[in-house]
Amino acid sequence: MPECAAEWVIFTDLDGSLLDHDTYRWDPALPWLARLRVAQVPVIITTSKTAAEVAPLQHSLGLGDIPFIAENGALVTLPASWENHPDFPRKIFSADYLSLCRILNRLRTEYAFDFRGFSDMTDAEVADITGLHMSDAALARRREGSEPLIWLGNDVELERFAACLKPYQLAITQGGRFYHVMGKSVSKGHAVGWLTKQYQLRTGTTITTVGLGDGPNDGSLLEATQHAVIIKGAVSDKVTLSPKYRGEVYHTECPGPRGWSEGLSHYLGQIIAD
């Protein structure tokens, strides 16, 4: 264990982890958020949400002036205190959104693929499909490095579509409600690894990382950290880590923000004063 709390960096998923799966509240996590803030341990949001969605939530959580990872690792947003970083204010690991949409439209026209992406929809349509409020749907459509889409073709056409994306260094993955097209090397874990290295360069110290997540798409996030907290999920899908993962793993008994706090107490309870 490191001697100084400042050597720790926390990477966390949002929905079902720091935020309650049903209410999206984080009240049980407030004591630990306060402890980490006093100890100056950064809590880095790592989520499928867009940067436009994360920014106001990050402020509400009291996590301002800290980088965050958006769109499942397609980009890292850097705060004002990082203005001297060569990638400020964004590090984008995918094709930029306009280029990505041009490629998708080109393939749809050329091969008659049948799909609808967020760029094809209005705010009202996205709100209707997702259950988001209209204002939140507008934020979800402000994308920078990935495109959620509804696939309307068959499985054979989907395989062909995936093959057509490869020459453009793009890939398609299946999420809960949508398929997502993004750069082929994009993942939460890749972004976590990059940002961990930036913290090491910035501080000149060895960084020890904790990752917290509750769902299958958090696997790469957890595997990119040294101490993984698998939070008890509210749904049946389980987090599976690679057999090659050599870090420590803690499974919580509680779900959501209570489990989030439980995991931090396990790893940091004796290091950071309450």
pLDDT digits (tens, 9 = 90+) for 112-122: 999 999 999 99
pLDDT tens track for 175-224: 778 999 999 999 999 999 999 999 999 999 999 999 999 988 899 999 99
Q: What's the confidence (pLDDT) of residue 46?
A: 98
Q: Which residues pair with 232 in a beta bridge?
A: 255
Q: What's the confidence (pLDDT) of residue 3?
A: 42
Q: What's the confidence (pLDDT) of residue 234?
A: 76
Taking all residues of the chain, what is their mean pLDDT, rounded to a whole number? 94
Whether the per-residue pLDDT at 91 is higher than 60: the answer is yes
pLDDT band at 94 (very low <50, low <70, confident <90, very high): confident
Average pLDDT over residues 12-29: 95
Whether the per-residue pLDDT at 2 is higher than 70: the answer is no
Q: What's the confidence (pLDDT) of residue 6?
A: 53
Whether the per-residue pLDDT at 239 is higher than 60: the answer is yes
Question: What CA–CA distance (Å, rounded) separates 105 from 84?
Answer: 36
Whether the per-residue pLDDT at 273 is higher than 90: the answer is no
Average pLDDT over residues 163-177: 91
Contacts of 78 (CB under 8 A, 6+ apart): 67, 85, 87, 88, 89, 90, 91
pLDDT tens track for 48-69: 999 999 999 999 999 999 999 9
Q: 90 and 75 in contact (C-beta within 8 Å)?
A: yes
Q: 108 and 146 in contact (C-beta within 8 Å)?
A: no
Average pLDDT over residues 116-134: 96
Domains (range + CATH), the chain: 5-92+189-268 (3.40.50.1000), 97-183 (3.30.980.20)
Q: Which of 110, 221, 104 is nearest to 165 (CA)?
A: 104
pLDDT tens track for 246-256: 999 999 999 99
User: Token digits for 82?
Assistant: 């990082």
Q: How far is CA 248 from CA 14, 127, 202, 228, 241, in A?
A: 21, 40, 25, 6, 11
pLDDT tens track for 143-154: 999 999 999 999
Whether the per-residue pLDDT at 25 is higher than 50: the answer is yes
Tell me the percentage of the chain whose pLDDT exceeds 70. Answer: 97
Q: What's the confidence (pLDDT) of residue 54?
A: 98
Question: What CA–CA distance (Å, rounded) separates 152 from 179?
Answer: 11
Residue appearing with tokens 């264990």: 1
Has 237 been annotated as catalytic?
Answer: no
Q: 148 and 180 in contact (C-beta within 8 Å)?
A: yes
DSSP codes of every residue in the chain: --S-GGGEEEEE-TBTTTB-TTT---GGGHHHHHHHHHTT--EEEB-SS-HHHHHHHHHHTT-TTS-EEEGGGTEEE--GGGTTSTTTTEEE-S--HHHHHHHHHHHHHHH---EEEGGGS-HHHHHHHH---HHHHHHHT--SSEEEEEE-S-HHHHHHHHHHHGGGTEEEEE-SSSEEEEETT--HHHHHHHHHHHHHHHHSS--EEEEEE-SGGGHHHHHTSSEEEEEEPSSS------TT--SEEEEEEEEHHHHHHHHHHHHHTTTS--
Q: 227 and 241 in contact (C-beta within 8 Å)?
A: no
